[in-house]
C-alpha cells in the first residue's frame, strides 16, 4: 500500500494503530468470538465501550461530575437543531457569530426553534477573519459560535467573553489543544474531523441545562432523553463510538498539551512556507489562521492555470486532499491530530519545487 499524506478535510486521517485495533474488533471483539458489529449494544462488552468513551471525554477536558457526555447520531448538522432546542429559554432567542458556512447553517436551524440573532459576522470579507470587539449580547438565551471554520481556514484562538451561556460547534478542532471546557454550557462536535469516523456526534454539556428549555422538544432531539438512558435510549452507532474511544485513548496517552504542541508546529511549518514562498498567499487573517485547516491560494499575478499544475505535483508526491473548498478556491491542507508533521514537510517540499519550476 502506498504511503499517502492524507490532508482530507473530513472524514479525516486517524491514527494507524487505531485502524489496526478496530479492524481486529470487526473480526473478534475482546476474544468474545463475536464481531463488534454483531453484538448487542446492551452487552457488557459494549456498555463498557460507551462508558469509557464518555468518561475519557471528561477526563481529557478536565471536566467534573457537573458535566455529561453523550454520543449521538445525526452529525453536527443535527447539532445545530439540538443545541437550539435545548438552550432556548424565556428570551426565545439565540445569538450567533457568523464565521462561515457552518455557522450560517446553525443560524438557519436556530430559526426553526426560535429567533436567531446574528451578533457579528465576517461575511463581507468572505469570512477571512474572526469578528472581535462586538458588543456582548444580553437579551439572548445563549451565544453560539463555531470554534474552527473548516472551510474558510479561520479559528478562534480565544474563548468569547460573554455573560450568557456559551454554545460551541467544535467539530473540526475538538481535542486539538488544551481548552477551558468549563466555560461552555454545551459543546457538540461531529466525530469525523478530529475524533473518529463519521457516524457519531459528541455532546458535552452542563447537567443543569437539562429540562429547562422553553421549547417543546421532539424526543430524539432532547438531550435529557439520552442523558437519562446513558446515551443508550436507542441503538447507538456502536462502531463509530468504539473507534472514537480508541482515538480518545490515543489522545489521552499523548496528553492534550502534546497534541497542541504538535498541531502548532505543523501549522507554523505550513504557514511559514506560505509566507516565504512567492507563489502562494494565505487567505485568512494572520492572527486567526486555523491550526487545523490551512487555506492558501496562488499569489496575485500567478497564472491561475497553475492551480491544477500544483495539485498534480502534490498528487505525484502522494499528497491527497489539498484541493480547496469551492467557496475559497486554491488549496486547503487539513492538519488534524493524527497527521504527522512529516506529511506537512512533504507538502512544503512540493511547494518549494513548484516555486523553483514556475517562479
Ligand X SMILES: *Cc1c(COP(=O)(O)O)cnc(C)c1O
Binding interface with ligand X (CB under 6 A)? 10, 75-77, 102, 146, 150, 169, 171-172, 190, 193
Q: Which is nearer to ligand X, 201 or 343 (CB)?
A: 201
CB of 77 to ligand X, least distance (A): 3
Which H or E run contains 311? helix 306-316
Of 12, 3, 73, 89, residue with least CA distance to 321: 12
Which of the following is catalytic: 68, 169, 185, 288? Answer: 169
Taking the C-alpha atoms of residue 123 and residue 102, their distance in angstroms, rounded to an integer, is 12
CB of 303 to ligand X, least distance (A): 32
Which of the following is catalytic: 68, 141, 185, 193? Answer: 193
By Cβ distance, which residue is nearest to ligand X? 75
Q: Give the SS3 label for residue 284.
A: coil
Q: Which is nearer to ligand X, 266 or 325 (CB)?
A: 325
Q: Is 161 an active-site residue? A: no
What value, to the nearest 5°, has the Cα angle with vertex 83 and ends 81 and 84? Answer: 65
Taking the C-alpha atoms of residue 307 and residue 342, their distance in angstroms, rounded to an integer, is 23
Q: Which is nearer to ligand X, 29 or 102 (CB)?
A: 102
Taking the C-alpha atoms of residue 357 and residue 355, their distance in angstroms, rounded to an integer, is 5
What grid cell was written down for 240? 463509530
Q: Which is nearer to ligand X, 86 or 150 (CB)?
A: 150
Which of the following is catalytic: 102, 266, 288, 291? Answer: 102
Q: Is 216 an active-site residue? A: no
Scored b (16 or more CB within 10 A) or e, 16-42 reads: eebeeebeebeeebeeeebebeebebe
* Residue indicated by cell numbers 516565504: 276
Q: Is 193 an active-site residue? A: yes
Q: Which is nearer to ligand X, 171 or 283 (CB)?
A: 171
CB of 139 to ligand X, least distance (A): 26
CB of 311 to ligand X, least distance (A): 22
CB of 34 to ligand X, least distance (A): 29
Alpha-carbon torsion (56, 57, 62, 68), positive or negative: negative
Q: Which residues are catalytic?
A: 102, 169, 193
Amino acid at each position: 500500500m502506498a504511503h499517502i499524506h492524507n490532508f482530507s478535510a473530513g472524514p479525516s486521517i486517524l491514527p494507524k494503530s487505531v485502524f489496526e485495533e478496530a479492524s481486529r474488533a470487526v473480526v473478534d471483539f475482546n476474544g468474545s468470538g463475536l464481531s463488534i458489529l454483531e453484538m448487542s449494544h446492551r452487552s457488557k462488552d459494549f456498555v463498557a465501550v460507551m462508558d469509557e468513551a464518555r468518561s475519557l471525554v471528561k477526563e481529557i477536558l478536565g471536566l467534573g461530575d457537573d458535566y455529561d457526555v453523550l454520543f449521538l447520531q445525526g452529525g453536527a448538522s443535527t447539532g445545530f437543531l439540538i443545541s437550539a432546542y435545548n438552550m432556548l429559554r424565556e428570551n426565545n432567542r439565540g445569538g450567533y457569530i457568523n464565521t462561515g458556512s457552518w455557522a450560517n447553517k446553525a443560524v438557519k436551524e436556530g430559526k426553526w426553534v426560535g429567533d436567531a440573532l446574528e451578533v457579528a459576522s465576517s461575511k463581507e470579507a468572505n469570512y477571512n477573519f474572526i469578528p472581535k470587539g462586538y458588543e456582548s449580547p444580553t437579551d439572548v438565551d445563549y451565544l453560539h459560535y463555531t470554534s474552527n471554520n473548516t472551510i474558510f481556514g479561520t479559528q478562534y484562538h480565544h474563548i468569547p467573553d460573554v455573560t450568557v451561556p456559551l454554545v460551541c460547534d467544535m467539530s473540526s478542532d475538538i481535542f486539538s489543544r488544551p481548552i477551558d471546557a468549563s466555560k461552555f454550557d454545551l459543546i457538540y462536535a461531529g466525530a469525523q474531523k478530529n475524533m473518529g469516523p463519521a457516524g457519531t456526534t459528541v455532546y458535552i454539556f452542563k447537567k443543569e441545562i437539562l429540562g429547562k428549555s422553553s421549547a417543546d422538544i421532539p424526543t430524539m432531539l432532547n438531550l435529557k432523553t439520552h442523558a437519562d438512558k446513558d446515551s443508550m435510549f436507542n441503538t447507538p452507532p456502536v462502531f463509530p463510538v468504539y473507534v472514537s474511544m480508541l482515538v480518545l485513548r490515543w489522545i489521552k496517552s499523548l496528553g492534550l498539551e502534546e497534541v497542541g504542541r504538535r498541531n502548532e508546529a505543523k501549522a507554523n511549518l505550513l504557514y511559514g512556507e506560505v509566507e516565504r514562498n512567492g507563489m502562494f498567499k494565505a487567505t485568512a487573517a494572520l492572527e486567526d489562521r486555523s491550526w487545523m485547516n490551512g487555506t492558501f491560494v496562488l499569489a496575485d499575478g500567478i497564472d491561475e492555470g497553475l492551480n491544477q499544475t500544483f495539485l498534480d505535483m502534490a498528487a505525484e508526491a502522494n499528497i491527497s486532499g489539498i484541493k480547496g473548498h469551492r467557496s475559497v478556491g486554491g488549496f486547503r491542507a487539513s492538519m488534524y491530530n493524527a497527521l504527522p508533521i512529516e506529511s506537512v514537510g512533504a507538502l512544503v517540499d512540493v511547494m518549494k519545487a513548484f516555486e523553483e519550476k514556475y517562479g
